[in-house]
Chain A
């Protein structure tokens, strides 16, 4: 039944695209994604061959029992991961995006685009500041915000108390649309977990818990090569993070199950990518023997576990944490590492970032370009990870509030530009890429909302 549904969704998606007249881009995307996907799979397969480890195998009963016992503390397991490498890192992906070119693009069309001096060469439409101001109107100077108006100098009676009261009301009425509107001004810490669940339409029904348990059983019974990649990623990133190291074990519990969750395949219907396929041994090329690998169609890259980590501050029940993460992934995060023309897709975000910088901070942009420090090379990793691991957790959660509220990732590009604007004075003085990286290495003290507000609403355009 799953196949039928996804077939139909695919057809609808294609029709919609045709209607949008972006067929051209669709072709482009498919070509680009196709070759990238081939590369990733090749990398995975070669690792598999080099290490003589199968992509998947059934665990012997003894091993199953052991894993079940250790389910809550997989972090203490120390398999030898030295030979595993992440399949790709954000910077590899950036190279692919930089090389995207539309072969059918005619020069005459938009002169202005020819003067785009950034790394992205795909002429997608992105918003300018006036349009962004309209779009993010609730972030304006005259509207109360959490992240600004709950600071020490502001008496709580002015905004915070009332805002909390409204939030409680929204929750009591279980109004998802109202919650989404409300959260544009930020969520009170105590209400955030429930608000996100409401907006994402997650309610922990018995069948959801059962589904998670089934995934867990799947993990116990079968070992996937991808599991080692997940372990390695967690050990390299979250385990060393000041905020998230505590939740290491939860990350395994979520990500191992995630990689086996075939319902995630559904998102490929609206994702112009397609899930990587592999073939049963000896049946290469024969479609009847093709399987999606990993089962959820998502190959984790370096830093992938950081999508889950911040959620551990909100949810401590594994199946709920799982559901929230999965929904966040299929709604938002997947766009950050697949090629598409969607306004929230990573290509558009990169272009938006570069355009904002080039248009509103031209001196800075030109200077950085001159010294071989194209800004996108620095900000790309922030956006791909939705800033997880770069900002302090409370700030990150305020940012993700707005992603949910506006149902868009564009705010990531705006924030990236705002960070550059904030550190512009120091950046103007650097003379190398390395020095520029150093100026922007530590974002942990930044306050997200004031930065966004100033950049959008208080900069002369």
Chain B
């Protein structure tokens, strides 16, 4: 007789627990025999660490890859993408093609970024080329907008200079490491407001790469009107879209939470900019997500006990070019509005349906190919096996995220889908 799935979590969120309970799963502690553990990123570090780690058995699944930080730490993500691009260039791949200014045509999707203090001098050189530009400083290991600030003068980051005598940083401690990226000061504005996109992507395996995009992503709007004016550089309500920051603003609204569905965005863009450029934008967004996953796939520990649901943050500039800002391993499961709660509940539900087939005790040796019916609001973003099996003549493109419906969205794919076969 098949037993019930035994679950553990160290994240006390109702959207998770309700999903486990509705499946009739049984809660246990981590010291007992468990089948499913929804862990925080601290815990995954322990599970897989050399000293304290332990072997997982075939009937155990966890929600993170051991070295997810290759993708989810800002500095490592950039490092891996740079490495990936260089490799493609070396093999002469058409993907690595550059334009006459030396910019990658297809792989320029991360704003120019340097690590501090390691690349300080390189950064200074770049900074001096366009001294009126604004840069954004982000601590490598933090989230929710903590510790982020904008600079437009070198003096503001003096203490990261390696030669600086006043520097007081503790050498090479990862806690002090920052990345500095060129700030996108021409974001696409809607209603005069800046926003970013949060998209959820589920990866069930890296080699072969199989990933799914959640159709119901959302836009997070700043409550204050955007201005690139230098006097407002310190006003985080203007610049940072993180809900954790925005919700302390005076104008934060608890009904809609400053969020729009991606389908609203699509409707707005199609209506005001036209269909072709909108479709192109969404295709590019899917492209950059897949490329970022391909970039880290070779270095990822593709442990068969793992799956992971990432929160991708993307900004669109006023030329309708999407930029990858960062990838989150532990996207927030807190709900700021009623709609939010429903969305996250459904997200977890659909994620579990894919990761734990039939809600039964998992066997991590399964082929990780769920049937189409269980995808729910996910759709296949990229399936390496399928893509390779198809041969070069299938030039069909996946048009995911095209739903025109309201919050509950509808996919345009069930009648017409086909995968993108980027090679």
Q: How far is the CB of A282 from chain B (nearest CB, A)?
A: 42
Q: Which residues of B contact A29 (CB under 8 A)?
A: none
Task: Check B24 for interface membership: any CB of A closer than 8 A.
Answer: no
Tell me, in angstroms, the Cα distance from A409 to B225 when the chains sit together. Answer: 37
Q: Which residues of A contact B416 (CB under 8 A)?
A: 152, 155-156
Total A-B residue pairs with C-beta atoms closer than 8 Å?
90
Residues 242-293 of B contacting A (Cβ, < 8 Å): 250-251, 253, 255-256, 258, 260, 263-264, 267-268, 270-272, 274-275, 278
Q: How far is the CB of B294 from chain A (nearest CB, A)?
A: 29
Task: Check A153 for interface membership: any CB of B closer than 8 A.
Answer: yes
Residues 133-154 of A contacting B (Cβ, < 8 Å): 151-154
Q: Secondary structure at chain A's binding surface: helix, strand, loop or mixed?
A: helix
Contact A76 B414 (CB under 8 A): no
Q: Which residues of A contact B264 (CB under 8 A)?
A: 243, 393
Choose the segment among B63-71, B78-86, B189-197, B357-365 that binds chain A (4+ C-beta atoms closer than 8 Å). B189-197
- Nearest A residue to B408 via CB reads A445
Contact A316 B272 (CB under 8 A): yes
Tell me, in angstroms, the Cα distance from A156 to B412 when the chains sit together. Answer: 11
Q: How far is the CB of B168 from chain A (nearest CB, A)?
A: 39
Tell me, in angstroms, the Cα distance from A164 to B414 when the chains sit together. Answer: 22
Q: Which residues of A contact B278 (CB under 8 A)?
A: 190
Q: Which residues of A contact B190 (CB under 8 A)?
A: 246
Query: Known: A155-B415, A247-B191. Contact between A313 and B267, CB under 8 A?
Result: yes
Selected from A153, A190, A444, the residue in CB contact (under 8 A) with B271 is: A190
Q: How far is the CB of B413 from chain A (nearest CB, A)?
A: 7
Tell me, in angstroms, the Cα distance from A243 to B258 when the chains sit together. Answer: 10
Q: How far is the CB of B197 from chain A (nearest CB, A)?
A: 14
Choose the segment among B26-34, B116-124, B151-159, B399-407 that binds chain A (4+ C-beta atoms closer than 8 Å). B399-407
Task: Check A314 for interface membership: any CB of B closer than 8 A.
Answer: yes
Contact B225 A73 (CB under 8 A): yes
Tell me, in angstroms, the Cα distance from A189 to B270 when the chains sit together. Answer: 6
Q: How far is the CB of B221 from chain A (nearest CB, A)?
A: 6
Q: Which residues of B contact A239 (CB under 8 A)?
A: 253
Contact A246 B267 (CB under 8 A): no
Task: Check A295 for interface membership: any CB of B closer than 8 A.
Answer: no
Query: Known: A72-B225, A76-B225. Contact between A394 and B191, CB under 8 A?
Result: no
> Interface residue count for B (Cβ, 8 Å)?
37
The 8 A CB mask of A303-314 against B (1 = contact, 0 = none) is: 000000000111
Selected from A151, A247, A394, the residue in CB contact (under 8 A) with B267 is: A394
- Which of A247, A249, A392 is most buried by chain B, counting CB atoms within 10 A of its CB? A392
Task: Check A248 for interface membership: any CB of B closer than 8 A.
Answer: yes
The 8 A CB mask of B387-423 against A (1 = contact, 0 = none) is: 0000000000000000011111011111110000000
Q: Which residues of B contact A155 (CB under 8 A)?
A: 415-416
Contact B225 A190 (CB under 8 A): no
Q: Which residues of A contact B408 (CB under 8 A)?
A: 445
Task: Check B47 for interface membership: any CB of A closer than 8 A.
Answer: no
Q: How far is the CB of B265 from chain A (nearest CB, A)?
A: 10
Task: Check B339 for interface membership: any CB of A closer than 8 A.
Answer: yes
Tell me, in angstroms, the Cα distance from A75 to B221 when the chains sit together. Answer: 14
Q: How far is the CB of A396 from chain B (nearest CB, A)?
A: 10
Task: Check B224 for interface membership: any CB of A closer than 8 A.
Answer: yes
- Which of A75, A245, A313, A314 is most buried by chain B, counting CB atoms within 10 A of its CB? A245
Q: Which residues of A contact B192 (CB under 8 A)?
A: 72-73, 249
Selected from B191, B251, B406, B410, the residue in CB contact (under 8 A) with A152 is: B410
Contact A248 B191 (CB under 8 A): yes
Task: Check A127 for interface membership: any CB of B closer than 8 A.
Answer: no
Tell me, in angstroms, the Cα distance from A193 to B191 when the chains sit together. Answer: 17
- Nearest B residue to A394 via CB reads B404
Q: How far is the CB of B248 from chain A (nearest CB, A)?
A: 15
Tell me, in angstroms, the Cα distance from A154 to B416 when the chains sit together. Answer: 9
Tell me, in angstroms, the Cα distance from A246 to B271 when the chains sit together. Answer: 16
Which 10 A-B pairs rank lowest in CB-CB distance, beginning with the nearest?
A: A392-B406, A246-B191, A190-B275, A189-B270, A73-B225, A247-B191, A242-B256, A153-B415, A190-B274, A394-B404
Which residues of B approach A to under 8 Å, CB–CB? 190-193, 221, 224-225, 250-251, 253, 255-256, 258, 260, 263-264, 267-268, 270-272, 274-275, 278, 339, 404-408, 410-416
List 14 A–B pairs whose Cβ atoms lie within 8 Å, in order of A's numbering.
A152-B412, A152-B413, A152-B415, A189-B404, A190-B271, A192-B271, A243-B260, A245-B253, A247-B191, A249-B191, A314-B271, A394-B263, A394-B404, A394-B406
